Structure 1
């Protein structure tokens, strides 16, 4: 099976004395159900799984369940023989967003404490539909597609290699040429395959890019059409915004152009709040918001009207751009600019590692790709992504660093270059070291 770092988090929570119910949030097809099922069956004698979407389109046994007693009664109808002691019984409530009232019921199940529980679903989608959010009774963790480190494990790398690389990163030491070439080769394959578990498993088993692309295309289409809580008009707008992501990312500014959504003048981002919220909260798009002042904490100068969206999976993006043609990514084709693809990887890695992302765009000073807060130094960290050979050219970043009032302690430039260099406040790193940020 694929190694997922989140499995250890899930296992530690289920074995702890924590009274909160763990809720694993994240987009569909990222592996939530599989990893919970794996850990649950490993740790508990009795594993009860209830899929609320399946129930909502079949027997609807749980549609009107409002009390703990009613819940137990319904569970006992199908799994009464598995309802043992708390320490040996795990009840897994999957796709909880199908019945938003169940989010409130989790509070009372936690208080009752008769069994061990875990839930998964699209929490961001249902928060707006729930009158009582039991934040004191649930612990929310977000799951993403495989990041690059997990992809390396899937491709045969072991813990020793990963830890050696991490030590190199911490000490700002470059990898040997042969190791660099190997990791860069795997990084470029990650650009093609991405981190959706079905696509990764298909690649590992068959090495067939056509099969990988078919899986990615199916998931991409599913993401584009799955907005079940909205009416037809909202769905069309969501689809339009989602379909605009590739073309926007290929533009110089890369941000969403509001007037292009419906080709109507006078529209503002306020006219599409629900649509943007769905794309972001469902986990299928990653948001990077503009800031006017690149100083810590960045949220203080966040601009809500300027937004860049990236795909949650880089494999979906390269599938849209290049189809089954792997040369565009693997062979360094001079006519192909991989800048937006590299940016997508950096966005997905940083967000998966817990950073909230921003970008800086000033008409006179230029644009910096990403900024995130560093809570150790209490300063913002600008990060530029370069896919070409002129990776040392970054006037906008230079302008930021010249302004002492921003109190920036360090900045990163990520590129294909093997050698790590430090020039003033700028640290030049190979792109694959983003896995350790």
Structure 2
């Protein structure tokens, strides 16, 4: 399956001031596969090192962290000579070997000619717990589940995608039904690579559902295996509460839904662990929509989403059969699947600040705020084709934004007079182009 991030990896390879790169992301989003595919396409050879084999590799990193010594011993260990210009060196599960992380500093300073890419599913957790880190000596990229754009590519729709990217919103009426149908499928299947592969192999939603249940079980097993013992039970409570949190009309995270009598101070470590592991996304309430958005975020008032819409659908017990019932999937679960989808699509715009929402002192709420660092754009997302956005109207009257954004199943429309842009849910990947921002 084609991953769009491979273009960023290629740019990294050709940098004159290249540093070792760390690819971050939750378990099972395809980090190892992507790095191996990148190596196969753009290097003559790949040397893959998995640090879960601690006993064998520990000795190599126990001594002096001289890059040349490490390269010599890894060459012997792997049985292949590591060449600076020709070999991609992949460090997998690098958080399991803190000294390997530290060695990246010396590679950056003394041997930048070596191309080193690292992956670590729980790297964020390891760093939060105090693992030594070569600050300023590495670069980062983040990998998420397949986006809707990548889902189209996986289903062989390169020509359709190229047409959309080339023509934008023009002349899309012919393909609206097809794109909506793909979006329905994406709400059921999501973007976890193993679920998408199962769909491509079988075209059976219930087999996809089985794969998703296995993924959810694997995440839950990680709690017991990797989390500090004192917060394991709390992590499970938080995790299990997410569907009910998102089912509410007001999706603000409520500790009382985690457990009766629960308090913020008891569960903040659990939320932090899930966030560091890449398994949840938090969006924060903004009291004043001004730049920079972070300065106006209320860190005590937030929503919690999962990393993938398909996993949320499965975890919530929404049957795959809902795909057969018209647009019901967009309305099921009080719009939670639609908001989850929009949240994870927004993660892909690295030049935009996206993990924020706005509420008024009354009951008005705008689902997302998007900022390019100069302007703040309200983004309202709706299920289906009903677009009665009263909260957006309240926001516009109060703050008069340059543009207000709405996303639903309605066709594209740009109302210059009112300053409102309607972007179909299946075209959200074109948002940065609409705002004229280079992603």
Q: How high is the TM-score relative to the length of structure 2?
A: 0.89
For 1:11, the equivalent position in structure 2 comes to 10
Q: For residues 161 and 386 of structure 1, what CA distance do their matches in structure 2 show?
A: 24
Which stretches in structure 1 are left out of the alignment for 5+ residues?
A: none
Give the aligned partner of residue 372 of structure 1. Answer: 370
Counterpart mapping for 1:17-56 below 5 A: 17-53=16-52, 55-56=53-54
Deviations 1:83-132 (A, max 9, x none): 24311222210011112343222111222316321111133222223464
Aligned to 1:305, the other structure's residue is in SS state: strand
Q: For residue 436 of structure 2, what is the aligned residue in structure 1?
A: none
- Is 1:231 matched with 2:228? yes
Query: How far apart are residue 71 of structure 1 and its match?
Result: 3.5
In the alignment, which of 334, 340, 346 is matched to residue 336 of structure 2?
340
Question: For 1:25-424, what aligned pairs fall within 5 Å after superposition?
Answer: 25-53=24-52, 55-56=53-54, 59=56, 61=58, 65=62, 67-69=64-66, 71-72=70-71, 74-79=73-78, 81-113=79-111, 115-121=114-120, 122-130=122-130, 132-158=132-158, 160-169=159-168, 172-173=169-170, 175-176=172-173, 178-227=174-223, 228-264=225-261, 267-268=263-264, 270-327=265-322, 330-333=325-328, 336-337=332-333, 339-354=335-350, 355-375=353-373, 378-391=374-387, 393-403=388-398, 406=399, 408-422=401-415, 424=418
Structure 2 Cα separation of the partners of residues 15 and 62 of structure 1: 32
Could you tell me how far 1:298 is from its partner in structure 2? 1.3
Aligned equivalents of 1:130, 1:91: Cα separation in 2: 25
Measured after TM superposition, the shift of residue 11 of structure 1 is 2.2
1:16-75 CA distance string (max 9 Å, x none) = 33330011010111111001011113333332111112x14x646359625324644652
Residues in 1 aligned to 2:324 and 2:232: alpha-carbon distance in whole angstroms: 33
Match of 2:434 in 1: none
Q: What is the distance in 2 between the residues matched to 1:38 and 1:412?
A: 37
Partner Cα separation in structure 2 for residue 89 and residue 352 of structure 1: 29
Change (3 A) 1:421 1:192: same
- Determine if contact 1:293/1:301 at 8 Å carries over to the other structure: yes
Name stretches of at least 5 consecutive residues in structure 2 with no aligned partner.
432-439
The answer (yes or no) to whether the contact 1:40–1:47 under 8 Å persists in 2 is: yes
After TM superposition, where is structure 1 displaced by more than 6 Å over at least 4 residues in a row?
none
Distance 2:324 2:280 in 1: 22
User: What TM-score, normalized by structure 1, do the two folds share?
Assistant: 0.89
Inter-partner Cα distance in structure 1 for 2:297 and 2:63: 40
Find the aligned partners of 1:196 and 1:364 in 2 and give their Cα distance: 38
Return the alpha-carbon distance in structure 2 between the equivalents of residues 27 and 363 of structure 1.
36
